[in-house]
Structure 1
Amino acid sequence: MAGAFIHPSAVVEAGAKLGAGVHVGAFCYIGSEVEVGDNTHFGPHCSVHGPTRIGRDNRFIGHCAIGGEPQDKKYEGERVELVIGDRNLFREFCTINRGTGSGGGITRIGNDNWFLAYTHVAHDCIVGSHCVFSNNATLAGHVSVGDHVILSGFAGVHQFCRIGAHAFVGMGAFVNGDVPPFVMVAQEGYGRPRGINSEGLKRRGFDSDRISAIKRAYRALYMSGGTLDEARTRLVELAGGSEDVRAVLEFIDAGDRPLLR
């Protein structure tokens, strides 16, 4: 714990490992099986239970509950963990749970994500990097989220669903199927696809040719009026000239749950 600042009111259990420059604010609790990388900052009233490994340069603004037991009736106290990467921001009252023994044993979060107030990541979820979870966005257990995904406020994702890279889920949308890469989902009872996230792709440097190819893939998948098998045949044709379309096709082929359509 050399070089770490620990507020006098905080509790850091024996066995916890804190890197250089770690700041533990007032009334925090850090458990004995917690490892924290350099320059990570905990604001007041945060609790971190282990086994949990946290990378460097993360910020937990306040009242975050990190590494708690999974909210799963099948959990019987087996050793499970949470792994968080670098440079993530966790705003007020975020809750991030550890994994379950029957679900892989680990919840994993990548780098450079923003988790805004009251967001929740349940057991065995895998979240990529450069994502934004707006206020009250919630993942149920076993959800997989790709890179550069945006979940708007009050969005909810059903257990075992996958959200592909660069997808955008609109405010209040409830997702109960897999969302392919690049797709926008809007609230309409349960969320429904409503085009591609073209504005987000432009901001990330996608040129007009790439975006046009993704639009053709979207039309084949959602606007052709055919079956999923027919749409897949068309995607195979389109994939020959586009890595992005191949990514959509690979996402579809890897899934066990139905696509959101």
Structure 2
Amino acid sequence: MSMHQIERQFTRIGARANVHPPIARRWGTTPEVSIDIGNDAEGEFFDIAIQPPQLAETQVIDVQPSLRHLLLMSQQDDGKHKFLCGHDERHWFVAAVPERAAVSSVKTAFDALKPVAVRALENRLGVKPRKRNRRRNEAFIRQGEWFFVPVPNDSFINERLVLRNEPIARGGGKPHMCEEVVRQGGELVYVSNRYPTGVTEIQRRQMISRRPELRHLHWVAQRRNPSVFVRGRVRHPDHKTILLDGWHQVLMNTENESIAMRHVAFID
């Protein structure tokens, strides 16, 4: 597709798109495709940088004007990468779709971005197809990339661990502020400014034995990959506040499973 043809497809969902060659980086490799949400005097727009040789391998494969969503595909050396572009509540967004999923439409992209546990619960509860892509149905309540799944029997949740007005966030995105949060289970790790992803107790001891000065770092004990449960209000500047009546398990969408996520600059 040409740059103009791609931009024209975005107008069908009520969006503006600026498709252009990427700016060469002084250091590192310039990506073949990069997608972000830009902002100018006219508002938000899709900022899409595509290497000129890659244009012929980039196309919009499905457009759903009534949903204000489309599916963009880029064929690259390491396979086909697909991006769901659309409007969610107040803003435009782009999400990379996991390559393992057989996705050919906006609808199947929605499904592929749901956690496996959410799709299984929808099937078990018999959620009607017309309700499955809503922000709320019998199986979940969604806010941005987070799915909140009701916990029918919450007796195992240790309310002594409740944290109030606690953020949950993905990477460098704006946090979703939760009225009450419990994190339990997972792996105990120690985090510091120098080791933000955490190290285990054994790793920390080994490091300090080799480099005693590390004992003076400000280490904080945290849990890696815990189960997270939320109750009450969840706020985010880009989304309508939701109210969770009772404990809900927090599950993130599957975008982080996609190779194509490296092409997405946008973070909610």
Write 1 or 2 for the structure with the bigger share of strand.
2
Quick check: TM above 0.5? no
TM-score if structure 1 supplies the norm length?
Answer: 0.31
- Higher Cα radius of gyration: 2
Write 1 or 2 for the structure with the bigger share of helix.
2
